[in-house]
Amino acid sequence: MSYYHISLSSLLFQTHYSETPSWLDGQQQWSKQYPYCGGAFQSPIDIKSELLRFDPTLRPIEVQNYNLSPNEQLTLGNNGHSIQLSLPPKMHISSLPQRYTAAQLHLHWGSSSRPTGSEHLVNNKQYAAEVHVVHYNSDKYPSMATAVDKSDGLAVLGVLIEVGEFNPAFEQFLKFINGVKYRDQRVQVPGLNIRALLPARLDEYYRYDGSLTTPPCYPSVLWTVFRNHITISRKQFLALATSLYASHAQDSDPVPLNNNYRKTQLAESRVVLVSFKDGKGLHGTPTVTSPLTRKRIIQQLMVGDLADLADEGLYQLLPSGLEKLRAGEKKDFENQQSEALAKSKHQMQNPSLRKKTQTSLSVGKLGLAEDELCFVSLEQRVSHQLKQSHSEIQLAHTLKDAVFPELNLKSYLNCKSDLALPTIRHILRERPTDEAFELDHSLTKALTNQKKTSSAVKKSVPVTNSGGLSPVAVPRKPHIQGYPHSWLLPMEWED
């Protein structure tokens, strides 16, 4: 895994670093080449108190074979955007419904002048650094590369790092850092106790559905961010923040490797499950609605009396401020929604038109989506459809519209999201028009009232009638032999 894995990473980020030395400055351009970066369920997020839901069913994280023998050889490499340590496949998480096998760990950090470089924030607090231990679903997929674009493909353990006491476990690979000062350099290091890089308590954590934090940003990650941080000394942090370069050794203009974190993304309809209920700001944290209740709600949407459902106030399950208005929008909210309803009705009467912009929502007897989303094949299909209609610049927007309902449904059924309006509308397209219209009208009216009374929404972002992002230009990239899609460049699956 190690040498080949890191070489792939170098190919991916060559464009980003040659054109944009600053990691932070180049992020807004990601979606132009990787449309999922402008899509749904993106990571990292700011884990705020109002997003939290206590879930009493969350078990302590259990990891196996994390204490590696010094006789084992691991590869430490500099891939131009982080340092990465390869991990043997015997390491795995055993406490999730499926087995997730370890592949690698890497770090994100700030700089000597700004020691705040964690990707996840907690109530607006950014930590000095963050460790990610990346695993893939080995019960379903044979490799990381196969799993990375599946909606249930990856699980990442996130560990927040604060500057404080010296960390002997961290030092076990940090002492080799001078061997990987420049991009594409790698060294062999003896095995170490990876468990010692995690907090002492593995029973307290945040859980949500998210994405890779580097291109192609597939929303394929089950995130577990531990509540408790670990510490490294200031000397250790400075070694990390000042010793490395994103450029090659032969480059005449060295580019320092620091501040290599992605900015926080919108939570949208997502909630963050917590495995603990005590502590500051967590007293009275709402408990999640049971999965059984959520399945019944989905079943009622699919086969129940929609008029009765509208009267019962399904809208109470929707988050406040779900639909945000574009700054300076001239149309009022109700007119905007009326156009969306008209469009929805038109699509119901024209199934072929609907198929061009939406993926079908496959729901089983218990309300669970039957097939996992494969983001590469979906991107290929949508790209082909848009190419035919000469609307390729809409790729990021259309992919979000296609992906969001199914992701939201799965996440909702597992209690990690609220039930969003675009998902309800997606389900309603299969229902009788008059009943669906009545329920949709009830939801729209409720959301309009929520907007008038809510003070929670302080920012506005561009949205479409179906909740998608504004169109983003996506230039075609040349096809690379051996890879199934022109945007799927060789890479390490970093996050």
State the catalytic residues.
Answer: 81
Distances (CA, A) of 202 to 137, 213, 227: 20, 23, 9
- Which amino acid, residue 331? K
- Separation between Cα atoms, residue 245 and residue 251, nearest integer Å: 10
Do the Cβ atoms of 189 and 85 come closer than 8 Å?
Answer: yes
End-to-end CA distance of the chain: 16
| Alpha-helix runs per DSSP H in 94-156 | 144-147
Distances (CA, A) of 264 to 24, 27, 118, 137, 267: 11, 11, 10, 25, 9
Environment class of residue 370 by beta-carbon count within 10 Å: exposed (0-12), middle (13-18) or buried (19+)? exposed
Query: Among 459, 368, 407, which Cα is nearest to 209's?
Result: 407
- Separation between Cα atoms, residue 212 and residue 189, nearest integer Å: 26
The three-state secondary structure class of 138 is coil
At residue 271's C-alpha, the angle toward residues 267 and 273, to 5°, is 135
